[in-house]
Structure 1
Amino acid sequence: MFNIISYIIFLTVSSYITIDVGRRCFRAGKSYLEYLIHDSEMCLTINRILLGCYYLLNLGYIAVNLAFWDRVSSTEEMMAVTAARIGYIALILCVLHYMNIFSLYFLRNKLTLK
């Protein structure tokens, strides 16, 4: 019973976080990409591709994460396991976000040096 509740809480919170962060990065990423690339159509295309890859990677990780979930037998354990799994999702989102920013920044620097 505790596992089902953990799954529902985990899926709800992590899916909400993933979708909300994706939307925010998509909106904020438009101006950042336009600053870097100076071509609005190319920026929109790159931003859509990044958003699609972001959703696929994170929602896939969330689904795979459920396969390796240990059996939960108490309320305290349920809260601890669910919080840790949601924390991992938040950390992965943060790392992916900064990797994208740095890779686009270095790509921009490389293009301007040519």
Structure 2
Amino acid sequence: MFNIISYLLFLSISSYITIDVGRRCYNAGKFYLEYIIHDTDLCLTINRILLGCYYLLNLGYIAISLTSWDKVNSMEELLTVTAIRVGNIALILCVLHYINIFTLYFLRKNLTIK
């Protein structure tokens, strides 16, 4: 019983975080990409591709992480396991976000040098 509750809690929290962060990065990323690339149509295409890949990667990781879930026997374990799993998702989102920003920054820097 505790496993099902922890699955549902984890899926709802992590899916909400993933979708909300993706939407926010998509909206804010438009301006960042236009500043870097200076081509509105290309920026929109790149932003949509990044959003799609972001959702696929994160929601796939969320689904796969359920397979390695330990048996939860108490409310304390439920909260602990769910908090650790949600924290892992948040850290992954943070790392992916900064990798994208730095990659685009260095691509822009290399394009302007040549």
- TM-score w.r.t. the length of structure 1 is 1.00
Percent of residue pairs identical: 75
1:63 aligns with 2:69: no
Question: Map of 1:1-114 to 2, 5 A cutoff?
Answer: 1-114=1-114
TM superposition shift of 1:67: 0.3
Structure 2 alignment gaps of length 5 or more:
none
TM-score, normalising length: structure 2: 1.00
* Root-mean-square deviation (Å): 0.2
CA distance in 1, matches of 2:63, 2:70: 14
Letter in 1 for 2:90: A
Q: Per-residue CA shift, 1:61-112, capped at 9, x if unaligned?
A: 0000000000000000000000000000000000000000000000000100
* Distance in 2 between residues matched to 1:64 and 1:100, nearest whole Å: 23
| Distance in 2, Cα, partners of 1:46 & 1:110 | 18
CA distance in 1 between counterparts of 2:110 and 2:59 reads: 32
Secondary structure of the structure 2 residue equivalent to 1:112: helix
Distance 1:74 1:103 in 2: 43
Segments ≥4 residues shifted beyond 2 Å: none
Alignment-mate amino acid for residue 55 of structure 1 = Y
Gaps of 5+ in 1: none
Residue-pair matches, total:
114
